[in-house]
A and B are shown apart, each in its own frame.
Chain A
Amino acid sequence: MSDAHSNGKFLVGIYDDDDVVLQAVKDVKKAGVRIHEVYSPFPIHGLDVALGHPRSRLGIAAFMFALSGTITALSLTFYTEGFDWPMIVGGKDSYSPIIYVPIFFELTVLFCALGMVGTFLVSNGLGPTVKPLMYDLRTTDNKFAMAIDLSKNNIGEVDIEQILKSSGAAEVNVKQF
């Protein structure tokens, strides 16, 4: 995952077609340019592989959130029913784990779901007071944008612009944050 809160000067290549941008990623990388990120209105198959992103760690995050839910449910039921205020309901032992399985399950799902919403907001730099970084507003509609961080490339701005253009970019803009 790239850092959403970047500062500095970016070159943004705008593409019209998802197949073109997918090929462009390979060509631009071949030319020795480091790509900051590609923005698309929809997921492009194979783009993460082409960009060389490492495998997502979302699964691990989800598992950890889920586990925290399970632990919360276990401690909650054990503390209230097994320790603090034991009650006999329906002739069962006061702490009978089987009847709490739905609670374990529900809190696991709840913690996982809420945790993943939070992860989504944080990793995408979204939030009530955060101003979202937009390289080009049209990537929410029908354009594909490839952002190049100039400070992380040794190649000159003019050369990069030329590489982007020859890879099929319809236009190349400069974006300063």
Chain B
Amino acid sequence: MASAHAIPSLDEQFEFTAESKRRIFIGLGVGVALVAIGAYLLASGAGSHGHDAHATAHGAGAHEAHEGGHHAYKWTNRLWANVWLNAIYFTGAAVTGMFVMSYNYLAQAGWSVSFKRVSEAMPAYLPFMGAVVLAVFFIAGHDLFHWTHPELYDKASPEFDPIINGKKGFLNMPFYVGRIIAYFGLWYFLWLKLRNFSLQEDLYGGTDYYEKSIKFGTAFLLVFGVTSSTSAWDFVMSIDTHWFSTMFGWYTLASWHVTGLAIITLTVVMLKERGYMQWVNESHLHDLGKFMFAFTIFWTYVWFAQFMLIYYANLPEETIYYRERFSGYGGIYRTPFLVNILLCFVFPFLILMTRDAKRTHIILKLAAWCIIVGHYFDFYNNIMPGTVGEHGGFGPMEFGMILIFASGFVWSLYSQLAKANLIPKNHPMLEETLHHDI
């Protein structure tokens, strides 16, 4: 029983050591070097696929050819597609911190207070990701997003596309850019509010900040209820402009959410192993494990619901999406497609099933890493075929870009963790979380 244990001291500050900073810099340096090598290989043609793959690709993805193939491919497309992919992935990881914090406020949950500062630290990465997303859109939007081509909407042009023209009310430059600014602006603003309440609460105590946090957290959930779907359409689904799925918003939300939960779990376990957060007991870890387990299944449920309806209905304009990923472009996306299912469903589902597993550090870490890596491939599968098609691959550029973005994320997370006490020591639910016992 947890209540029988001595409660450790609640004044605890995370120290962002010079050693951690050095390691992050090394990671960043390696990332930049790998991207440079990748860029050199692609620019000199060594990294691109031979003519054979090209020919097969046009056979298999013939339907897609008129969509993807009408602007010339440049090697920089792959660079920008990578930046975009990582920016979207880490946007999701960051905003999930806010999402987790908000629904725990709305549910008036007590147990989550023990690790609240971890989820609270994650959204600090949002403004950087917002800047990257906007920059990539302005620099390379034309190469990544087919719908940004003006001739598609010109009835006189031979390129006129009635389907895309029908989506003009939603997919047009001013509205799109406005939406992106609104997403990041709203998410970040509401996070700043909650963060400030939380820090003030540490100083002054009382329940006022808690009541206010519930209101702003609920406001965020209302905003996120809409923007999680629309941002998924904007960031990911609009790449394959002709194709659409009504499941896509939930699908991306599920993917972001479980990634964020895995990052929270991993951070909590690692902090605990380094001697921090001794108030986090087995019951907290068990609940975090259950969270990961449940949302792994939720992601799979949505993935399968989307897949099965398309498979069953067998409409060419819908099945092309899976055909491209499974057998198109010379089959280069088949491995990530299967790895995705393996890492995001099969593996975490099997290892997290028992009660003891969810209370064991090593299994939690393993499952969390699986989910984090697996969902990178989820976004890889959703973004790459539509942007680079047969020129895609997994090389130094991809590895390097992940390292760069991950280093930034860890830096941002650590510096936010170091700014505040590791547990909100005046939180009204503090006692409940310290005695959490399931």
Q: Identify the A interface with B (CB < 8 A).
A: 45-46, 49, 59, 90-92, 98-99, 101-102
- Please determine whether B308 and A99 come into contact, CB atoms closer than 8 angstroms: yes
| Nearest A residue to B4, CB-CB | A46
- Contact check, B308 vs A49: say whether CB atoms are below 8 A apart: no
Instruction: Give min CB distance, B302 to chain A, whole Å.
Output: 14
B308-A101 in contact (CB<8A): yes
Interface of B is mostly: helix
Residues of B near A59 (CB, < 8 A) are 355
Residue of A with least CB distance to B304: A101
Taking a contact as CB atoms under 8 Å apart, the answer to whether A91 and B314 are in contact is: yes
Q: A59 to B1, alpha carbons, bound, how many Å?
A: 21
Number of interface residues of B (CB under 8 A): 10
Given contacts A59-B355, A90-B314, A98-B311, contact A49 B1 (CB under 8 A): yes
Would you call B437 an interface residue if the criterion is a C-beta within 8 Å of the partner chain's C-beta atoms? yes
CA of A98 to CA of B326 in the docked complex: distance in angstroms? 16
Q: Which chain A residue shows the least CB distance to B437?
A: A45
Q: How far is the CA of A46 from the CA of B436 in the complex (A)?
A: 12
Closest Cβ–Cβ distance, residue B381 to chain A (whole Å): 18
Please give, as numbers and ranges, the residues of chain B lying within 8 Å of A102 by CB-CB distance. Answer: 308
Does B311 lie within 8 Å of A99, measured CB to CB?
yes
Q: Is there contact, CB below 8 Å, between A99 and B312?
A: yes
Give the distance to chain A from B89, nearest Cβ to Cβ, in Å: 28
Min Cβ gap B280→A in Å is 19
Measured between C-beta atoms, what is the minimum distance from A63 to chain B in Å?
9
CA distance A95 to B314 in the complex (A): 16
CB distance from A22 to the nearest CB of B (A): 11
Q: CA A45 – CA B435 in complex, angstroms? A: 11
In the bound complex, CA of A92 to CA of B355 (Å): 40
The 9 closest A-B pairs by CB, nearest first: A46-B1, A99-B312, A91-B314, A98-B311, A90-B314, A90-B312, A49-B1, A98-B308, A45-B437
A45 to B312, CA, bound (A): 49
A99 nearest CB neighbor, chain B only:
B312
Nearest CB of chain A from residue B354's CB, rounded to whole Å: 8
Q: Which of B143-187 contact A (CB under 8 A)?
A: none
- Given contacts A49-B1, A90-B313, 17 further A-B pairs with CB under 8 A are A45-B437, A46-B1, A46-B3, A46-B437, A59-B355, A90-B312, A90-B314, A91-B314, A92-B312, A98-B308, A98-B311, A99-B308, A99-B311, A99-B312, A101-B304, A101-B308, A102-B308
A59 to B354, CA, bound (A): 9
Bound: A48/B45 CA distance, A = 68
Chain B residues whose C-beta falls within 8 Å of the C-beta of A98 in the assembled complex = 308, 311
A55 smallest CB distance to B (angstroms): 8
Chain A residue, CB-CB nearest to B353: A63
Instruction: Tell me the smallest distance from the CB of B346 to a CB of chain A, in Å.
Output: 14
Name the CB-closest residue of A to B1.
Answer: A46
Shortest C-beta distance, B317 to chain A (Å), equals: 16
- Can you list 16 pairs linking A and B with CB atoms under 8 Å apart? A45-B437, A46-B1, A46-B3, A46-B437, A49-B1, A90-B312, A90-B313, A90-B314, A91-B314, A92-B312, A98-B311, A99-B308, A99-B311, A99-B312, A101-B304, A101-B308
Q: Which residues of B contact A49 (CB under 8 A)?
A: 1
A-contacting residues, B339-371, CB 8 Å:
355
Residues of A within 8 A of B314 (CB): 90-91
Find chain B residues with CB under 8 A from A45 CB: 437
Q: Which residues of A contact B311 (CB under 8 A)?
A: 98-99
**What CA separation (Å) do A92 and B437 show in the bound complex?**
50
* Chain B, range 373-391, C-beta contacts under 8 Å to A: none
Query: In whole angstroms, what is the CA distance A98 to B304 when docked?
Result: 9
Tell me which residues across on chain B come within 8 A of A91, comparing CB atoms.
314
